[in-house]
Structure 1
Amino acid sequence: MSTDLFCEIISGERPATLVSSDEVAISFLDTRPVFKGHVLVVPRVHVETLSDLGDVGPFFERVQAMARAVEEGLQAGGTFVAVNNRISQSVAHLHVHVVPRNKKDGLRGFFWPRTTYDSAEEAASYAGLIAKAL
């Protein structure tokens, strides 16, 4: 079994601000979000890349639901959904970024400026809004 950061979050060894969790995937807030409410959707099974994931359907149903929940829960105009395979993949465990977007939010191309939450309570409030919309 791998001991990457996401496997540690899945096993409960490392804390995360959870948004959703089931037998297929776990979703939590990125600790260095592009915009507040930036969620990572991670398969429970350890695979490094999208190519390594067997049946993608159940996992991407979770990604689709999360994109909808981020928009609804945060009243975002849309979402940016992205997967890095190896290059720019900071953790060698498949994960999908679901980033809330609004017109004129300043995001340009593939340059992803990062921000932080002011507190654990603020992070939890974003997670709660998104989870409520699931």
Structure 2
Amino acid sequence: MATPTPAAPTPTRTASAVPPTGPGMPSFARDPQTVLDAFASAIEARDWKAVRAYWGDRGNRSGLDEAAFAARWSVLEAPEVTVGDGTQEGAAGSLYYTAPVTIRDGERELAGEVTLRRANDVPGATTEQLRWHIESATLAP
């Protein structure tokens, strides 16, 4: 009698569990530089809903509601964003990634740092905790 073949492991995430992406949504990439590049693209597209969503807690950690955030950032008329190489470090179950970011808008230039954070693949962490999100930023219009 043949030994039965063990069943393939059941995936822990399904397609429906993966957060949607697109206009108004942040990137859920696992690479922090990719996330910052997508954040920069959202700024250049003037997609203020998506830009706000890069902050933790689905944008609430930006400290502004959607309308106030859009009003503050919409002063940028034709932003061009440059993201420099960042550095990553870990601490107490979290990963941090800090990179320099420059926004040029005509004659105006804003320069600062953006720090992303995510949970370090801790069992039981939610999708929101596992996504790279802005923990702090020293630049704002």
Give the TM-score category using the shorter length.
Answer: under 0.3
Bigger relative contact order, structure 1 or 2, given CA contacts below 8 A and separation 6+?
A: 1
Instruction: Look at both structures and tell me which one has the larger radius of gyration over its CA atoms.
Output: 2
TM-score of the pair, normalised by structure 1:
0.28
